[in-house]
Amino acid sequence: MTELILERKYDYGNRLFALCESCYWTATIFPKIESYECPACRTGNVALIPLSLDEKYELQFKPKHGLDIKFSISER
């Protein structure tokens, strides 16, 4: 498992959902990260989706059906 250590201050309201279209690795990333290479399979095939401050996502993987991603608004 790859860990990302954040050493700088980031704008947490400006985040992206990253999905590798090759191996389905996912993460929440912040635009100040300069490289969008997948840390799992090392391809540059990473799709980026902007997330609002109150938006969340759920991932579910089923062997017969594949990857299911649900985006929703967080309840406060």
The reported pLDDT for the residue numbered 22 is 92
Tell me if 51 sits within 8 A of 28, measured CB to CB: yes
Domain ranges for the chain: 15-73
Per-residue tens of pLDDT for the chain, all 76 residues: 444 444 444 455 578 888 898 998 888 877 766 667 888 999 988 888 888 888 888 888 888 888 788 888 877 6
Distance CA 22, CA 4 (A): 20
The reported pLDDT for the residue numbered 27 is 84
The single-letter code of the amino acid at 40 is A
Distance CA 32, CA 29 (A): 9
Beta bridge partners of 28: 17
